[in-house]
Structure 1
């Protein structure tokens, strides 16, 4: 698979928490990386609460698009995405290494 780390799966039912984490991801520069981690954590927590109330189909992503739920699963998926993709696509034209790191972690959310 040759995925571009700068593109993300479409989700027509994107929640506010998921949308916020996507917006913060694209704004990452240096110390704003921590804001991205915070927004991604809020997205994850929002999905956990919503899934506890009304579980999604177990054969697909959760309501906020999370395919992986455990920390280890998220990290494993992030690494797999990096290895299976075009790594240069994570950095992008601006050379922003902080955003590249955020994109790799973001992949852990949805990559299988």
Structure 2
């Protein structure tokens, strides 16, 4: 709802940049809501700041791999899907190799 409201205000004044700002603000609100709503299942402070470097390194490697794919492959629908699959696989492999406890908690949460 916030996205629609912000779009009405910002797009008329700023065009495409208004849509970008509106989406960024709305998604930030959603992320904050989700962080506060999962506090009862996870220790959010520890998850966000403890061993953050593992996630940062995994994200950087995923970015580098997908960037290479983006430069090598043509811009087609199937190339984008392949890039998404490779990015997800790369990130999950990195976090698994780093023995991330987050994956263990996530697995316990769903099973």
Normalising by structure 2, we get a TM-score of 0.30
Normalising by structure 1, we get a TM-score of 0.30
Give the structure with the higher percent helix.
2
**Larger relative contact order (CA 8 Å, sep ≥ 6):** 1
Structure showing greater radius of gyration is 2
